[in-house]
Amino acid sequence: MIDPATFEFYQKRVPFYTSSAGCGPSRHLDAFLDRLKPGACILELGCGTGRDSARMIERGFDLDATDGIPAMLVKANERHNIGARLMRFDELSAEQAYDAIWAHACLLHCPRAELPGVLNRIQTALRPGGFHYASYKLGDGEGRDLLGRLHNFPTADWLRARYQEAGFDIFNEDVFAGKGTDGTMRDWLAITVRRPD
């Protein structure tokens, strides 16, 4: 399911992400964690080099960190000793195993045709009342950025509809401007949804 060009980009660019990951955790992470009970079990999709993983563990949560890029996992475990494991989005098969699922800036690489199935897997993996966060670069259709990485570039309305079709209640949204690794400024949508009780 991982686009080959996108996979190769991340496999080869781990040193860049390691050197640029010295900043703090993702902008929405602490607010997301504040919604959870102490010690809640969190699945992280696309953990990268482990920046957000380290924050979740520091705050006392039970973390299952995953990524689909082997080189990223090696670096995450070297840097933070988080026990991250290899898993693509389409390999998620858990049922009601997690209180929350965090997916910062990773599901944006999921092909549009495959995103609904992945969202169904996420919904199934959450316990009733569980929360899911993801962030996406907004746009008007699937394409590649200036670095050749595949993005789904959804509109906000298209994305909301996919989450609602997967059985989620939309809990919170934040649209913000951000510069991607390719230097392009875009609007992003950070969306937090909840599996109904």
CATH number at 54 reads: 3.40.50.150
Number of domains in the chain: 1
Residues contacting 117, CB < 8 A, separation 6+: 90
pLDDT tens digits, 56-113: 999 999 999 999 999 999 999 999 999 999 999 999 999 999 999 999 999 999 999 9
**pTM, 2 dp:** 0.96
pLDDT tens digits, 16-56: 776 554 567 999 999 999 999 999 999 999 999 999 999 99
Provide the residue range defining the domain that includes 179.
4-194
Tokens standing for residue 168: 């989620």
Task: Tell me how far CA of residue 32 lies from CA of 70, 133, 179, in angstroms.
Answer: 27, 8, 22
